[in-house]
Amino acid sequence: MKKLALLLVLSVVLISTTYLSDHKSITRDEVETIVSFLASDEIEGRDSGSIGIDKAATFIESYFNDLGVKPYYESYRDSFKIKEIDAFNIIGVLEGNDSKLKDEVVLLGAHYDHIGFRAKPVNGDAIGNGANDNASGTATVMTLAKHFANSKSNKRTLVFALFSGEEMGLRGSKHLAERLKSENLNLYTMINFEMTGVPFKDGRDYDLMLTGFDLSNMAEKMNVYAGSKLIGKSDVAVKYNLFKRSDNYPFYEQFKLPSQTISSCDLTNFDFYHHVDDESDKLDYAHMASVINKLIPAIEGVSNSEIREIKMKDE
């Protein structure tokens, strides 16, 4: 039955992908389909090294493969060890369409792992499903990959990285950042997505916040590309130094380039962080689809600018 359920969900996603291939908009239904599968009880919280995260990885690999997003390495799986645990990131790539700019890489990332089973059940539920944290960010990266696979509008090469081991100390992103640095990757910028499933509720004049806001001009440039104040500064993110607490940070450490996280949650607007009630029915999919569609021209701008416009403030 579990294999059947996986095949049915994959079929829904692939039908949605085919039907929407000539459309630019990402719909609430397709992001909900992705999040609902990744945050289902069948996936058991996506703990690194678990059977559940292997199912999640297979789901992402199939999605990329059917889009024509190629594996970055020989396979989509970038394997590494967390002590005795066999873990793996999922890495896909779309080559840029400009003969010169394609040698530069824009990396879009999110962690697809979560905390698995909790030691103490709540009302009989022990699975930390991780819908907002971070099936939402994973769905954001996957649907952005869908857009660019269909539009083929990226001049620079786009790498789509879904990380494992984030909940164990950013282990997957540390591994990949070190590996890509050793391979002399020509990285332009790394944009990470974390908890994009709920909107801010306190009347802010922006939809998404950027960690490390004052370190670079990333927000400024992406807002120009988006044509609106899409991204702003969160004082809560500054207070808790969220810049160092997600998968952007290992890339900043290795490359010393703008590597930052975009989110619509700074923990002031979501009560279920690392809680068993972080379920798919708690998310706002109209909000998710809206911000992804607003991000598309921003990512296109990052991909297609003739020069490297996004820079660290101290350059």
> How would you write the pLDDT of the chain (315 residues) with one tens digit per residue?
444 444 444 544 443 444 333 345 899 999 999 999 999 999 999 999 999 999 999 999 999 999 999 999 999 999 999 999 999 999 999 999 999 999 999 999 999 999 999 867 888 889 999 999 999 999 999 999 999 999 999 999 999 999 999 999 999 999 999 999 999 999 999 999 999 999 999 999 999 999 999 999 999 999 999 999 999 999 999 999 999 999 999 999 999 999 999 999 998 998 889 999 999 999 999 999 999 999 999 999 999 999 999 999 986
pLDDT at 7: 46
Contact 178, 254 (CB under 8 A): yes
**Which listed CATH number (3.40.630.10, 3.10.100.10, 2.40.50.100, 3.40.50.2300) goes with 2-304?**
3.40.630.10
pLDDT at 94: 98
pLDDT at 122: 84
pTM above 0.85, yes or no: yes
pLDDT at 14: 47
Which residue(s) pair with 209 in the sheet? 232, 263
pLDDT at 315: 66
